[in-house]
Amino acid sequence: MRDVVENWGANQIGSQHGKIAIVTGANSGIGFPTALELGRAGARVVVACRDAERGREALTRLQSALPGAAFRLEPLDLASLESVRAFAARFSGAGEPLDVLVNNAGVMAIPERQVTADGFERQFGTNHLGHFALTGLLLAALRRSAAPRVVTVSSGIARWGRIDLDNLQSEKAYSPFRTYANSKLANLLFMMELGRRAPWLTSVSSHPGATHSNLQQHTGLGTKLFMSVIGQEAADGALPSLYAAAGQAESGEYYGPSRLCQMQGPPREVRPPARALDPTIARALWAASERLTGVRYELDEPIRRTA
């Protein structure tokens, strides 16, 4: 397990000048402080948001907080493969390198089963398949970076997840939290498998612990009461993501809060659930994800950017 500097904070992020980062779901939750602090450190940050109005509001807040930083708003709906493809085409078509991709956006505990524009169960389709497709479609841009990094944000709830290859879409049985946990376990399996298949990039994960976020909008009173006592602010919950994005991380590592059973505190490397370490399931999930999204990963050697 990697030792993280004790009480590591956003003020310890090294210079990100010259780097380009994409943060999905950057308009709210931990996505906003993740984008903010990467921008403060000098990165040019693409603020990728589904809701145009909320995206514009977030961009205004970011620019007001850091007038000299470089933020750019781009529409991205991870529940629509058409939107994912359009976003990736715009970014890749500009010929820019992509140094850091933070797969952060997500939905949680939707009370009744819903489907995306492509017919996928919404939590699995948004949290896992949308980011799987996005990452695959951005490989050309990642190859242009001297040191590309992909951060896939999971959840402590992933420890309760299971991958049932015969019920990936929760058609046989739907449970709001169980389906969410499954999607977050899928995030970890994807992170691990991406690192194995693409050793030329750094593939890491993080989770925010118990953090106040609009993700909890569908949760019950008990969860809301629990969060009112235990929950930390989004700026603190973003620290594991920020360390994964800018710290001394290596592929396969997983970062979460260091205190109160990984619910609060500064980041440290944490152990992923045992199910996330199963390469057989990871390979099977990868194959299913390629089949469902139609995105095939071209994983030849990268084209390195010259210094």
DSSP 261-278: TTTEEEEEE-PPPGGGG-
CA distances from 186 to 164, 211, 238 (A): 11, 21, 20
3-state SS, residue 148 = coil
SS3 content of the chain, % helix, strand, coil (to 5): 45, 15, 40
80 C-beta neighbours (distance < 10 Å), count? 18
Q: How far apart are the first and last CA of the chain?
A: 32
CB atoms within 10 A of CB 24: 29
- Indicate the burial class of 284 (C-beta count within 10 angstroms; 0-12, 13-18, 19 or more): middle
Q: Which residue has tokens 């140094």?
A: 99
Q: Exposed/middle/buried for 103, CB within 10 Å: 0-12, 13-18, 19+?
A: buried
d(CA 4, CA 197): 26
Of 190, 199, 205, 196, whose CA–CA distance to 287 is shortest? 190
Q: What positions carry a catalytic annotation?
A: 180
